[in-house]
Amino acid sequence: MHTGNTKQLGIIGLGKMGGNIALQAVEKGIYVVGKARSKKPELEKGGVTIVDDYESFVSSLEPPRVIYLSLPAGPTVDRVLEELTPFLERSDVIMDGGNSFFRDSIRREKDIFQKGLFFLDVGTSGGMEGARNGACFMVGGKENGMEIAAPVLSTLAVKDGFLHTGAPGSGHFVKLVHNGIEFGMLQAIGEGYSLLVKSGFELNYADIFRNWSHGSVIRGWLVELMEQGLREKESQEIESYVEDTGEVNWLLQEAINKEIALPVISQSVMELFRSREREGDVFRAIALMRHGFGGHPFGHDKAIEKERRIGRIEKF
């Protein structure tokens, strides 16, 4: 067990996001304990302490503990909470850093708080690069829990990238809206790329996206990722089936319930569905950008499809 005044963080879920957050934390002087069922030599080499059971995991951290869950949305989160909480002590903080449905987070916070623990819904953006070098956090939950977790989250965030959004559930709701905006932006860039391909001109597409990254109105990370992806991979080699975990579908259902018009985001979801039926340069471009920021797969992925089906537990 580590003792002293060093910041500490427990992480459950050491995949692409959780593993990179763990390495970033160690490099910034945070003592990190991760729970995994198998060895993680690359993380252990980077200074992360790995254990394989909850009792050892909790006893390796000093109270009040700050624990980050990097797990698929849905039943997995509830199962881990059920297995973890018996070992925790009053005022320990659990943070759900996945893309859970915000109403699930409201329910979980209520249940966890009744046990004397804090639960924060931590919308996490920035992809693998953000997890490794500085993420954007949108955090909902009670102020007392925020005060305990804030030193760790502010250390792991980019400048101005850590925000307490408000009441329980608000962090994951804000992240849900963020993902809807992301879908619309991806669709627009993909459509622009398709126009370039079919223009009849001999164009260097990577050079165009590089040009747009310097001083243009549409400059931004997604445009940069298009350039990077096109230099690394020919677009025609990319399968245009776009996979996703379904969160933006929840956003559309929420908008329908509130009778809020979302024409751009709605159409971007319909176009994503269309990518699973036919090939197209728009879809290849979207797949290229999604792979760039989140390591999302090219083509169909059964595990992601399953998460899309079961990720939301609470109904609207």
**Residue 169's closest CA among 216, 254, 103?**
103
Give yes or no: 232 in active site.
no
Pull the structure tokens for residue 277: 């039926």
**Residue 101's closest CA among 82, 83, 86, 121?**
121
Given 109, 175, 243, 247, which residue is catalytic? 175
Given 182, 224, 254, 307, which residue is catalytic? 182
Residues, the chain, total? 316
Give yes or no: 175 in active site.
yes
Round to whole Å and give the CA distance between 121 and 168: 7
CA distances from 100 to 204, 222, 225 (A): 40, 24, 26
Give yes or no for a contact between 240 and 279, defined as CB atoms under 8 angstroms apart: yes
Q: How would you write 170-206 as a 3-class SS string? A: HHHHHHHHHHHHHHHHHHHHHHHHHHHHCCCCCCCHH
Q: Which residues are catalytic?
A: 175, 182
